[in-house]
Amino acid sequence: MKRFSRIILTIALLVSFTVMAGCSQQPTSTSTLDEPEKLSFEGQTLNLYVAAGMKKPIDQIIKTFQNETGATVAVNYGPSGGLYAQIEQNQPCDLYYSADWIYIEKVEQAGKLEKSNKFLTDNLVLVVSETGQSKVDKLEDLSKPGVVMAIADAQAPVGVYSKNSLVNLGLWEKASANIKAMPSTVNQVAIMVKEDQVDAGLVYSSVANANEMNSVEVIDDEYSGEIVFGSAIIKGGQLELADAFSTHAIKNVAVFEQYGWKAYE
Of 61, 71, 67, 95, nearest to 230 by C-alpha is 95
Residues 89 and 53 in one domain: yes
Q: What does the longest C-alpha to C-alpha distance in the chain come to?
A: 124
Distance between CA atoms of residues 81 and 106, nearest Å: 10
Distance (Å, whole) CA 1 – CA 190: 104
Query: pLDDT for 30-42, tens place per residue?
Result: 333 333 245 689 9
Q: Which stretches does DSSP call E strand in 170-249? A: 179-181, 200-204, 214-219, 227-234
The tally of domains found in the chain comes to 2
Q: What is the tens place of the pLDDT at every residue in 208-242?
A: 998 999 899 999 999 999 999 999 999 999 999 99
CB 222 within 8 A of CB 161: no
Where in 140-184 does DSSP place strands (E)? 149-150, 179-181
Strand order in the sheet with 179-181: 179-181, 149-150, 200-204, 124-128, 214-219
Q: Are β-strands 45-51 and 113-122 bridged in parallel, bridged antiparallel, or unpaired? A: unpaired
Give kind and range of the element (H or E) at residue 189. Answer: helix 186-194
Q: Answer yes or no: do 193 and 257 share one domain.
A: no
Has residue 207 been placed in a domain?
Answer: yes
Q: Are residues 214 and 131 in the same domain?
A: yes
Instruction: Provide φ and ψ at 122, rounded to 5°.
Output: -150, 175
Q: Are residues 130 and 210 in the same domain?
A: yes
Q: Is residue 194 part of a domain?
A: yes
Q: What is the CATH number of the domain that holds 186?
A: 3.40.190.10
Which range of residues forms the domain containing residue 148?
124-219
Same domain? 91 vs 149: no
The verdict on residue 34 lying in a domain is no
pLDDT tens for the chain, residues 1 to 265: 444 444 444 444 444 444 344 443 333 333 333 332 456 899 999 999 999 999 999 999 999 999 999 999 999 999 999 999 999 999 999 999 999 999 999 999 999 999 999 999 999 999 999 999 999 999 999 999 999 999 999 888 999 999 999 999 999 999 999 999 999 999 999 999 999 999 999 999 999 998 999 899 999 999 999 999 999 999 999 999 999 999 999 999 999 999 999 999 8
User: Measured between alpha carbons, how far is 181 from 185 in angstroms, rounded to an integer?
Assistant: 11
Is residue 94 in a domain? yes
Is residue 224 within 8 Å of 124, Cβ to Cβ? yes
Residue 244 lies in a domain: yes
Q: Is 113 helix (H, G, I), strand (E, B) or coil?
A: strand
